[in-house]
Amino acid sequence: MLTKRIIPCLDIKDGRTVKGVNFIDLRDAGDPVELAEIYARSGADELVFLDISATEEKRKTLANLVRRVAEKVNIPFTVGGGISSVEDVDILLKNGADKVSINSSAVKNPDLINELAAKFGSQCITVAIDAKQVNGEWLVHLVGGKVPTDINLFQWAKEVEERGAGEILFTSMNNDGTKEGFANEALAVLSSELNIPIIASGGAGNMQHFCDTFIEGKADAALAASVFHFKEIEIRDLKEELRRNGVEVRL
């Protein structure tokens, strides 16, 4: 059985780690290089680094900050934000990223998924999907959640898989920052319809929420930010609790 992964997320704005609620009201959460080093030592399985304003501000992810983080960690490291070409990915991988995450650019140019998977391998390509439940339907949103579309989450996820993505990072905008739990019903649908790993994001508030998303949501990995950044949950404690609940994790 594949072990479930615990993934801290470093949302970066202006070179600092930030965290908000429902994608707004951002507050400072510390230095990303220091946090990355702490997480690598404390049992995180992977790290995700998202330059959350890169797409909106039409600039590229901070490659030198990626390099500084990569020098401090010995676990897989995914980078996203403002990636729209083979050249962007090449720069990030050369600066120490193990995988890249694309979001808005994939929706605007779906062929980019095929292109990147062919060039770098599916295992390097994560497609992040930010979606919000509106009148009962899960709809994809772009540019850090600021631009709504009429694209259905589940249809888009299926297309993403068919185009060669190696995994999907699904963030529920409804749940993000609320600390009331992950969107497990939507996650369970994604997991049942797709064959690639699904990373759950948005809503972690306590250890039970992680148990629930692995057991009820069938997620392959769970990503969280503030509960780790502000030391509300220690990763080793979380993994021991997951083990006690029958969830296989790497200790």
Return the domain boundaries, the chain: 5-244
Highest mean pLDDT among 76-90, 117-131, 142-156: 117-131
Q: Residue 28's pLDDT band (boundaries 50, 70, 90)?
A: low
**What are the C-alpha distances in Å from 28 to residues 11, 139, 166?**
10, 29, 31
Dihedral through CA 85, CA 120, CA 221, CA 59, nearest 10?
-20
**Is the confidence at residue 114, as pLDDT, over 50?**
yes
Mean pLDDT confidence for 101-110: 95
Token output for 145: 């959640």
Mean pLDDT confidence for 218-235: 92
Identify the pLDDT of residue 58: 41
Catalytic residue flag (residue 25) = no
Identify the pLDDT of residue 49: 87
Catalytic residue flag (residue 237) = no
**Is the confidence at residue 73, as pLDDT, over 70?**
yes
CATH no., domain 5-244: 3.20.20.70
Catalytic residue among 45, 88, 130, 176: 130
C-alpha–C-alpha distance, residues 113 and 18, integer Å: 28
Identify the pLDDT of residue 75: 95
Mean pLDDT confidence for 229-242: 94
Q: Which residues of 132-159 are buried (b: 16+ CB within 10 A; e: fewer)?
A: bbeeeebbbbbebbeeeeebebbebbeb
**For 183-217, how does the pLDDT look when each residue is reduced to its tens digit (9 = 90+)?**
999 999 999 999 999 999 999 999 999 999 999 99
pTM of the model: 0.91
